[in-house]
Amino acid sequence: MVEVTAIDRDTLDIFERTARGVLAQPDVVVGNALEEIGWRDFLAADAASVVPLVFGILGELVLASSALDDVAFDALGARGEELRATGHGFAHPLGVRDAGSLSGAGLAVDAVLLGAGRDAPVALVAATDGGACVFTVAARSAGLEVAPLDGIDPALGLARVRGLVPTGDVTVHDDAGAPAVRPACRRALAHELLGATDAMLTMATEYAKVRRQFGQPIGAFQAVKHRLADVYVARQAAAAVLDESWRSDPACTTVAAKALAAHAGAVASENCLQVLGAIGFTLEHRLHRYVRRVRVLDRLYGSARDLRTELGRLLQAQGRVPRPGRG
């Protein structure tokens, strides 16, 4: 892997244009396209610059990929790189808790796989008595069931992975920085949610400018303006916190950022559907793809509702509210 440490503005601009170009192609295979532009090298060099770009575009274009696996492996450093290179899929949790937990009975797993097929080995972060650790489970391991799922968003091509794996079939990698995975993935998902929010806001805004009722564009009505302004405010609020989450203590800010980004996605889903009206409710319009996508992105690594509870408990434990960022 090429070791790059800082990416200058010009290189980043070129990267963004290239990424947009390849990802906007019809029937793009996202994994190949990202490979083509050297995404993983850029990720290793400067996650803070390229994760917002790439996940923003993935959200905007409502693309399915396993780029989140790359983010998880990147957060694990050298061990993550090794696991990725040896063909592991990454099992992502569906809630605020880890994807698995270790007990005397074995490793209990309940998570989703984004890309890897059912025959690949799986890496995941699981809770143990001594804190979170990275585990791997061999391909076709007894007790681990991998089942493709459609869910609300079949375009994602997810698989549910669950079961109880005997201790003998799991390997623990306690050298890897397991606690870094969750904040990194939450940040990436928040950027994807904001990308999807922006796409919905743009389509509803453009429609409100041209759709005429009562002799004027519906965007001239204050009730419509306010709905779309509310979407904009929600995305700006999430963006302010998400931006700060790359600089401040991630424990609090990534939870806050993902909760706010999922909220922005929900406000956009509701308000943009309302502005688009009946056409937006049909499968002929692409809005439904975004409405579905933000529901699933909300679930991964904890829904907005569960994240709020987690954040509230964190504040209670600290006894004071954190004040990240300065004037």
Partner 1 sequence: MTEAPPLHLDEYRAAFAGWLDGHDALVSRQRDFFSLELADVATVQQQFQGELFAGGWVRCGWPEELGGLGGDARHRAALYDELGRRRIPIPESYLTVETLIPMLSVHAPELARAHLTDLLRGAERWCQGFSEPDAGSDLASLRTKAVRDGDDWIVDGHKIWTSQATVSHRCVVLLRTGTPESRHRGLSMMLVDHDTPGVEVREIRTMSGRDELGEVLFDGVRVGGDRLIGNEGDGWALAMYLLQWERGMYPWQRQAGLLGTLDALLERDGDGIDPHALADAYLSVLPMRLSAAHTIRRLAAGETPGPEVSVDKVLLARAELVVFDLVDSVLGGAIELDDDQHAQEWRHDYLFSRSAPIYGGSYEIQRQILADRVLGMPRG
Task: Please return the burial class of 75, using the count of CB atoms within 10 Å of its CB with bins 0-12, 13-18 and 19+.
Answer: buried
What's the N-to-C CA distance of the chain in angstroms? 39
Compute the least distance from the CB of residue 229 to partner 1, in Å. Answer: 4
> In this chain, which stretch among 55-63, 100-108, 135-143, 237-245 interacts with partner 1, using CB under 8 A?
237-245
> Is residue 106 within 8 Å of 164, Cβ to Cβ?
yes
Which of 217, 270, 274, 277 contacts partner 1 by CB under 8 A? 217
Nearest CB to partner 1, comparing residues 114 and 311: 311
Report the alpha-carbon distance of residue 316 to residue 52 in Å, rounded.
30
Give the x-and-dash track for 15-54 against partner 1 (CB under 8 A): ----------------------------------------
Q: 169 vs 310, which CB is nearer to partner 1?
A: 310
3-class state of residue 247 by DSSP: coil
Q: Give me the amino acid identity at 252.
A: C
* Cβ at position 54, least distance to partner 1 in Å: 23
**Is residue 213 within the footprint of partner 1 (CB under 8 A)?**
no
DSSP type of residue 92: E
Residue number, 144 or 287, with CB nearest to partner 1: 287
* Alpha-carbon torsion, ordered 245, 68, 19, 83, to 10 deg: 120
Alpha-carbon separation of residue 23 from 18, 41, 54 (angstroms): 8, 17, 9
Q: Quick one: which of 20, 160, 225, 288 contacts partner 1 (CB under 8 A)?
A: 225
- 324: amino acid identity, one letter: P
From the number of C-beta atoms within 10 Å of its C-beta (0-12, 13-18, 19+), residue 260 rates as: buried
Interface with partner 1: number of residues (CB under 8 A): 46
Q: Would you say 35 and 69 are in contact if contact means Cβ atoms under 8 Å apart? A: no
If binding is defined by CB under 8 A, does position 221 make contact with partner 1? yes
Q: How far is the CB of 256 from partner 1 (least distance, A)?
A: 6
Tokens linked to 23 = 């990802």
Least gap, CB of 253 to partner 1 (angstroms): 8
Residue number, 176 or 257, with CB nearest to partner 1: 257
- What part of residues 161-190 is at the interface with partner 1 (CB under 8 A)? none
Residue nearer to partner 1 on the CB measure, 83 or 260: 260
Q: Which residues of 34-48 are buried (b: 16+ CB within 10 A; e: fewer)?
A: beebebbebbbbbbe
Site map 300..319 versus partner 1, x via CB under 8 A = -----x-xxxxxxx-xx--x
- 126 versus 260: smaller Cβ distance to partner 1: 260
**Residues of the shown chain interacting with partner 1 in the complex, contacts defined by CB under 8 A:** 201, 205, 208-209, 216-217, 219-222, 224-226, 228-230, 232-233, 236-238, 240-241, 243-244, 256, 259-260, 305, 307-313, 315-316, 319-321, 323-327
